[in-house]
């Protein structure tokens, strides 16, 4: 079992009967969805799930997990998702899967947000390994890019994997992947992005994670603050 599976299996043990669970997106979240479906099938665990993306909803449905639409949800018990970067104060960078609005809505709506990561995701500062995904209204992309360049950002619109088009989110937004230098701390960058008109959402998740689960030497460790 790899480290992603190990933390996903552990996270599934945290789910209790009757919970409304938020399902994340990505390879680690997929392991969690599988583990949760297995508990439902083998132990008769009763859960309802709400998904952060169409791709996770399709997976959950194929495994028989009962889903409710985000529109029906005012709060959830637990949200389980991966991340691309995790700092010691549990600020996250997310959004390689680009459905940032749903992910941040679920993170905010959850009583508890458990992040599944592995050692490779631990960084000193947000943006160390990946650019920051910035979801923008299509007609605003050039103005937003210009403003972010004035703040020292470098990057551009995210192309599709085949390179023959641009990524469009499920809400019709475009995604700018912007790199910022070490002079930007993640809190200041979060505020600057929040204050930029035309930005729908961005990948910095500040003060949202309750804990980060990381497998260390084959054992799952839960980090809740300094030291992740
Ligand atoms: C999707 C995300 C993912 O959680 C993040 O990209 C991690 O993915 P993986 O579990 O495949 O490493 O934020 O928007």
Distance 126 CA to ligand 1 centre (A): 15
- Tokens representing 123 are 């960084």
Tens digits of residue pLDDT in 65-124? 999 999 999 999 999 999 999 999 999 999 887 789 999 999 999 999 999 999 999 999
Query: Do 152 and 183 touch, CB atoms closer than 8 A?
Result: yes
- Would the CB of 94 count as within 6 Å of ligand 1? yes
- Would the CB of 153 count as within 6 Å of ligand 1? no
Residue 137 vs residues 25, 85, 102, 206: alpha-carbon distances, Å: 22, 25, 16, 22
Tens digits of residue pLDDT in 11-31? 999 999 999 999 999 999 999
Tens digits of residue pLDDT in 191-227? 999 999 999 999 999 999 999 999 988 899 999 976 5
Distance 66 CA to ligand 1 centre (A): 23
The number of residues in the chain equals 228
């Amino acid at each position: 079992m790899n480290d992603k599976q190990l933390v996903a299996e552990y996270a599934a043990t945290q789910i209790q009967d009757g919970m409304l669970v938020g399902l994340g997106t990505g390879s680690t979240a997929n392991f969690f969805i599988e583990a949760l479906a297995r508990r439902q099938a083998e132990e008769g665990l009763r859960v309802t799930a709400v998904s952060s993306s169409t791709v996770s909803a399709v997976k959950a449905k194929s495994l028989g997990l009962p889903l409710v639409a985000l529109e029906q949800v005012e709060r959830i018990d637990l949200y389980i998702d991966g991340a691309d970067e995790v700092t010691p104060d549990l600020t996250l960078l997310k959004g390689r899967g680009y459905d940032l609005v749903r992910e941040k809505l679920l993170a905010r709506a959850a009583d508890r947000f458990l992040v599944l990561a592995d050692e490779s995701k631990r960084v000193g500062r947000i943006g160390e390994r990946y650019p920051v995904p910035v979801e923008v209204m299509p007609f605003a992309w050039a103005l937003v890019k210009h403003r972010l360049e004035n703040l020292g950002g470098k990057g551009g619109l995210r192309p599709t994997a085949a390179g023959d088009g641009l990524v469009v989110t499920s809400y019709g937004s475009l995604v700018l992947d912007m790199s910022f230098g070490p002079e930007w701390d993640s809190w200041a960058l979060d505020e600057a992005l929040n204050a930029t008109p035309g930005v729908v959402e961005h990948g910095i998740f500040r003060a949202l994670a309750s804990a980060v689960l990381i497998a260390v030497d084959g054992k799952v460790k839960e980090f809740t603050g300094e030291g992740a």
